[in-house]
Amino acid sequence: MNVSYCNRYIQIELFQESELFEKIMRYSSKYFSEHYRLSSSILILDDGERFKKDYLINWAYHASLEEEKSHLDAVLLHTHLPIRIKILKKNDVLQKVKVSLRVVGLDKVILTLEKKNALARRYLKNLFGVYCDFECENEIHLKARGDEFWEHIMNLISSKIIHNVAIDFDYKGFFGKKFDSSFLTEDECNLRGYYLELESRFDDDFQSVKKRYLSLARTYHPDNVYGRDEAIVQDYHDRFTRINEAYEAIKKSQKIFLEV
């Protein structure tokens, strides 16, 4: 979901498979006297009564996790324009954003987006909530306090598809900063990376890791996205490969530990 405007219309990007899509379609057909399709993916809404547009835009804006009120106010100044609804499908992933992490001192973590993306930034701010300290440029500074904070970090580790943006977390950068390599061998550093790939902690027992592996393998099996956009299929294939490599490495390390 994304809300924007240009000099000719206000645009709402909306996924066809979403629950909100059905609600907006019902609202549009019921309350807008002028609604017509330009194509299978473009719907135009217009009406002389601006309060209907204001209501719809407010609704869509807050549903898309927008937080900057100034942007919403700017959009509402242009509700004399028609509303253009762009209907997207699940395989219409338009952008991919990599997020890296570094630990600063004992109580601060900085998330860095490789490029500007308002939707990815809003998602991260919404995910970490009270832990957000401040933000600047493409960085979000977090207060790393309490065990729950690191649980939030673990929830972030993996590729996420939010609306029409694929967020790819750079877990290697995370483990490289969080664990000081001065007291770890290269094999130990790699092993910690494998645990992170399986969204697990290094001190988790093997059965817990195996359970998480099976869940991730089912989620990211390439067959789940057969026939979709080539970029999405490749993302699932790469993630599935990394998941299996990580599990085999951890399983091998467990056998060595038991033999010792």
* Domains along the chain with CATH numbers: 2-88 (no CATH), 90-178 (no CATH), 181-260 (1.10.287)
Angle between helices 69-76 and 50-63 (to 10 degrees): 160
Burial of 260 (0-12, 13-18, 19+ CB in 10 A): exposed
Contacts of 120 (CB under 8 A, 6+ apart): 97, 99, 113, 162, 165, 167
Residues in the chain: 260
Both tokens of residue 56? Answer: 């719809």
Q: Band the pLDDT of 245: cuts 50, 70, 90.
A: very high
Q: What is the pLDDT of residues 23-33, one digit of tens each?
A: 888 888 888 88
- C-alpha 98/C-alpha 230 separation (Å) is 19
pLDDT of residue 92: 54
pLDDT score of 177 more than 60: no
- C-alpha 131/C-alpha 146 separation (Å) is 10
Long-range contacts of 131-137 (CB under 8 A, 24+ apart): 133/108
The dihedral built from the CA positions of residue 166, 172, 173 and 174, taken in this order, carries a sign that is: positive
Q: Band the pLDDT of 182: cuts 50, 70, 90.
A: very low
- C-alpha 8/C-alpha 84 separation (Å) is 9
pLDDT score of 188 more than 90: no
Of all residues in the chain, the percent with pLDDT exceeding 90 is 4
